[in-house]
Structure 1
Amino acid sequence: MQKTRSSAGHVHLAIRAAALSVSLAVTGSAVSAQTYSFGSVSVTGNQRIEDSTILSYTGISRGETVTAAELNDAAQAIRETGLFSAVEVVPQGGTLVIRVVENPTVNIVAFEGNDRISDEQLAAVVQSTPRDVYSTAQAERDTAAITEAYASQGRIGAVVRPTIIRRDNNRVDLVFEIAEGGITEVERISFVGNQTFSDRRLRGVLETKQAGLLRLLVQRDTFSAERLQFDRQVLTDFYNSRGYPDFLITDVDVSLTRERDAYLITFFVQEGQQFRVGNVTASSQVAGADAQEFLAAARLRTGMVYSPSRIENDIARLETLALRKGLNFVRVDPQITRDDRGLILNVNYALVPGERIFVERIDIEGNTTTLDRVIRRQFNTVEGDPFNPREIRESAERIRALGFFASTDVNAREGSSPDQVVIDVDVTEQPTGSLSFGANYNSDNGVSLVASFSEDNFLGRGQGLSFDISVGADTRNVGVSFSEPAFLGRDLRFGLNANYRTTDNASALYDTETGRFSPSLAFPVSQNGRLSVFYAYEYTDITGVAGERTDPPKDRASIVIFEEAEQGGVSTNSLGYSYSYDTRRAGLDPNTGVILRFGQEFGVGDNQFVRTSASAAVETRVFNDDVILRGTVEGGALKYNEGSSRVTDRYFLGSRIFRGFEPNGVGPRDADTGDALGGNYYAVARVEAEFPLGLPEEYGITGGVFLDHGSVWDVGETYGADVLYNDYTPRTVAGVSIFWDTPIGPLRFNFSEPVDVQEQDETNEFDITISTSF
């Protein structure tokens, strides 16, 4: 009996709760049996939202028989709209009464206490906007988003508190009160388990950096979970590309210091053994595909250090060969077998039939400025082509390489049928232009004021446009350039360059004026090779020649300069070409890159000449990638068939080509006046090494040694002047360098010591240049 009374009591309470409010869950078989039918509905408390709209949320129609549980579900459905702060659904006889209290409308969204992140940036993070219905849940999500934005900048101690200020007409101001706190930086990155490569070398691979002296400018020494995930991948790629296929990151420990003001990151790794390539073979299951013919197109060779990138490049070659032979839907499957005893991996390129899947369409979203065609032309695939996943991945990389987008996602999904796929491209644009004013310094020209404008995505067409002007004590320069990377819709780059330069030579008794206008076309001729053809119009003049011919040598310019200046302004027209071969584009060898360049310019008209230039450069890493070795050989030759060269045409070796000399400090010069005259020929060889100095790598400071050897010679027509060093007279300079990778650019400080120079040469024991890899 007691158990029966208890059950009856629970049922009575449940029915009573359903009659007054459906805010409590209703259970029990007796309640489920209770039904209601309504001939009318009364909605109260609503101001902005129509009665019919609220009724539609319930899913109940007039005259419909419903249970108490269904009334409870109807009230919950109204609450889940987020439009109301209170909801009651009450049956009263034949009328269903719905009482609501509407959430207020957001009047404004404001931020207080923020300094490091602007209001505009925070507004882009939050989802609450003016004129929306206020939602407590959304305000909490916005609070979390703001907190995450500060955490991505290393401010994990930031506190965000949403508050509302009530206004008339059921409106509220939503204010996020922010206490930003200090930056929690990455104090140390260390590795456990690495034996082949040093901690310093591995830290150089990562995107995350340790905090250093210039931490306010580096912006990568704050902890970011997304950046750390990227670091895991690049560290794995680093080892895999150097023959360590078994490399594994077993754990990444991220902890805070005791003071909770800095992160300590430790990577636990297992390197495994380095493997080399064993036998390289090919097999074919595709009719018309000769395995040996495809094997001949591969570049992987026995004895090479194993690298997935080498295999990926071979796959691209073989699939391209299949398309050229009219074989569609051919998939190259690299079958790899291990020989653990010999530490080799045997590779068999298996040509197998692929799935017959076609590209239905390519959908592009997120590009508000960039035209669709700029993105679409990064695809070699068009609608209706066979679907090639590798080609789609490469297209995604080309889109990212444009530099127009902060993020790029390229995915494939099933289309209108199983044999069709749709390629979705989702991009987020970022600024692509810059306007700058400032000062520039180099050892050759001193200090100059600089103003420049550049836009890499002009009018959203993917075109480049730049303008710069510099004014120094001795030089003035104005330059304009324009480029169209897909001229006539093809892989053909059109360029247009115009430059005007005047000099007031502090080291010579004459001035110069030079203008050049040159359109060009460039296109690929091989995987690593590119050819450029151009036309050039050039105007040169020699002005301000000091003194008279009869003046003493110390008071006048060289006779050569007088003779060349008397020709007045000279205009030349020329046609030319330039070929470059760059293995860094393919990335086949992660440790070594080679660049070869060769070009010629042919003067036509009254001044017929041939200008030839060539260079070869190589860079490689040794001693487990800790030391970088560089070698460069370059030279030029200017030969006139009609007319003769002038000081404005001939070669002068600046500090970027030959270190250890003042501007115009090496080469032929007038024996009487000392004027540097330049030469029609030059040749220089440079070798150098860059190595760590034991300083924390976050400082970006490394050391180096170098040796330069070369000469510039042959003035051509001397007009009877006594010219020193007119024949090939080699010089040699040795020195040490300090490389400093600063936030404003990579700087190089050279300290030179002449080894073999001539008496009249003007040496320079110290100079500052921009550091380059080659």
Structure 2
Amino acid sequence: MLPGNFALLGEEQVRRLSLLKQIRSRGSRPSLGTVFLAALFLAIVALGQEPFTVDRIEVVGNRNVPTQEILAVVPFRAGDTVDAAAVRAAAQAIQELGYFVRVEPQLNVEEGQVVVAFTVVEYPLIEEITLLGVPRFEPQGRGLIAYFLSWLSAPPVTQRRVLDILKENDIAPGKVLNTVKLEQALQEVLKEYQERDLATVQVAQVLPGSELVIEIQELPVLGHRLEGLVTVPEEVARELISVPTGEVGRLSQIQASHRRLASSVYFSRVELDWQLEPEGVWLIWNLTERMLLPQPQPVSRLELVGCQAISPERVLPLVGDLPPGPVDNFQVLQALAEVNDYYRREGFFMLDFQPLGLEDGVLRVQVLEGEIAEIVVHGNTVTQERVIQRVLGLAPGDVLTQAKFLAARQALMSLGYFSDVVLTPEWEEAGVVLTVEVNELDKLGRIGGSVGLSPEGGLVGNLEYAQKNIFGTAQDVSLTYSQGLGGAATATWNLGYTAHAFPVYDRVEVNLYRRQEAQQEEASKVTWGGEVGLSYPLAHYLDLEVGLSHEQSQLLPEGEWLPPRTALTL
């Protein structure tokens, strides 16, 4: 996977611009709001060493931003006892709203009353937005065919799309410029470029004013610089890189090149950096060569140790021959290339090799297949850790493969408790440490329904209730209840229970229900029943599901009981 620092090249550039500090007006120097704020903080400290009671709070200088919106972020009110630190925090909170070039807090005494005043300088009201470096989409000719042909040749990101993103973030004519929302909007613009497979894109400059000017640059790749090579020839590494020069860097090509380098036998670590120049960007590949033989020495053969997930009988024939005489590290790695490729094809993406020493011309090499040493869970504020580890389906001692990795993430996502799950495996001294980062959904329950009064049946209505992940134990319950609907005067209900973290089964379901079906004329059939379902894992994405159901029915108004029904399903 491509390192985040380059995948978000444009976003990092936005951060470098530091919209709160480096956005500059045309013809003026950068804002000194931070300097003013710091000086006034010192004045407040001098005046308010001891806590004091606030009699009034004022906001001065706001023309377009409502005072109520500004005061909403001030953590104290008139009548509260505060100190200088609280006033500083309030000024910072106002600054972080994003509407103001600077915020100056003042502490005054007027007619015996202590007044805390915040003097603000707003960013201008946007009248026009000018985009530089972003092409327009202008259909050539008239008619549907001409429009379709123009659409096929349209640029990946157009001015209309950028303006739509800005508008979605309240950056539009008639709005006060907000640097916080502008930074978020620009990050979404750069994400749009990445979704269009363009990676080397940056926000070159932002000029605020009544005319907001934003320049976006699509940077061509000037070339590739390889660092960290010791014995591996540069041309061998370059053959694994498929990003052409002279063109805007494609995210898919950069990711594919990174993946080939990282999965090759030659490198144990690959990091991507970049260097910006006026003409474009240089991609800098920092390569850590896998070192099995630090100095050239005579080696007659290689001996592999630790092949467990794949039998040695299948691996040893893949070890290549070594040339006579002293060999270097590159030649040793070449001899292991087919072993590495075979393991990778089988899904062992954490494969590594470590030297165990050279003795009597035999170089012993430890094959590390990717055994998990520890699983660390982060982000679970509600869901119990044991639940996540149970559903994950992995445990220390398991060898991590691509299939297990994908199945583990899908199993957690299928619970419906998380908006995202990120699994990050890393090699540590003891083995692979798998970090599980979950982002829990805020709302996992729902309740709703309706009620009314019918002249024929009296009170009618329905109720629906559901709650997932009760007490963080991966247990879900649901209840549906209806009264007097469908011409029936009696109640119909269904009570469901599902558990996802039983010791043996992937899923356990229990349903109890009462149903009523209309028959001829005023007759009806009432059915009481229950269902139990078990899901037993056989393999990845393959479960054996067993279900048992039993129900009893009665005909109304006669009161006649029908024979019970019991069914077993597989």
Higher strand fraction (1 or 2): 1
Bigger Rg, which one: 1
TM-score (norm. length: structure 1): 0.34
Select the structure with the greater relative contact order (CA < 8 A; seq sep ≥ 6).
Answer: 2
More helix by share: 2
**What is the TM-score normalised by the length of structure 2?**
0.44
